[in-house]
Amino acid sequence: MSHILVVDDETAIADLVEVYLQNDGFTVHKFYNATDALACVETQPLDLAILDVMLPDMDGFALCRRIRENHLFPILMLTAKVGDMDKITGLTLGADDYVTKPFNPLELMARVKTQLRRYIRYNQGVPTPAEPEEFDFLGLLISKTTHKCTLFGEELSLTPLEFSILWYLCQRRGRVVSSEELFEAVWGEKYMDSNNTVMSHIARLREKMHEPSRKPKFIKTVWGVGYTIE
């Protein structure tokens, strides 16, 4: 069963999350500070992390960034902050999803399972024969077999979600993909009109690809419609 890292300095919340995860059969590694959590990350194979933003020794954003230096497993942020910029900050630093406190534990479990299904599918799944295993055009090479992406020979450090977004757009090269379609295909959840998650991840992808925001060469915005790779 999957190993889940839980980091929250609020004992009651950490204990609650642990109980729900264990009830679903997950192995939980629970910590109340970032220092102990980082030691676990370097010694224990993990499948997903749930990080609180407010920690006593290092904020969750910094912890997320440290984890992303060497690991690609999904990261969910728990935050009491509801501002869009705080959410965008977490996504920009490599988080895959966020949950705002106070939260429904059942919703958190659903998000955990969604992220794990996606992570396992794109890292351990075998592609069907009819589906291309890689795309190579204009200096961009993305391979589903190796789960690697290079741009002009330079390997891009993409999170599983970022890889999934780019792969989905490459599969549909030449057509416009709406934010709704992209979100529901990659996140596996119902799209909400006020959802800025897709925009945040596209912005992060462009940054990693060294794309100018106004005239990107690869991922282009069709205003009012969606995104396309031509």
Q: CA angle 115-16-160, nearest 5°?
A: 15
- Can you give the pLDDT at residue 49? 96
| Mean pLDDT over the full length of the chain | 85
Q: How confident is the model at residue 30 (pLDDT cuts 50, 70, 90)?
A: very high
- Can you give the pLDDT at residue 205? 92
| Residue type for position 2 | S
- Can you give the pLDDT at residue 184? 86
Stretch (H or E) spanning 124:
helix 105-124
The answer for residues whose C-beta is within 8 angstroms of residue 223's C-beta and 6 or more apart is none
**Does the pLDDT of residue 128 top 50, yes or no?**
no
- Can you give the pLDDT at residue 195? 63
Q: What single DSSP character describes residue 177? A: B
pLDDT digits (tens, 9 = 90+) for 148-179: 999 988 999 999 999 999 999 998 888 888 88
The answer for residues whose C-beta is within 8 angstroms of residue 197's C-beta and 6 or more apart is 91, 97, 183, 187
Q: What single DSSP character describes residue 216? A: -
**Does the pLDDT of residue 8 top 80, yes or no?**
yes
Q: Which residues of 175-210 are buried (b: 16+ CB within 10 A; e: fewer)?
A: ebbebebbbeebbeeebeeeeebbebbbbbbbeebe
- Can you give the pLDDT at residue 194? 57
Q: What single DSSP character describes residue 156? A: P
Q: Global pTM?
A: 0.57
Spatial separation of the C-alpha atoms in residues 170 and 159, rounded to whole Å: 16
Residue whose token pair is 């992808």:
205
Cis amide leading into 102 (omega within 30)? yes
Q: What single DSSP character describes residue 9? A: S
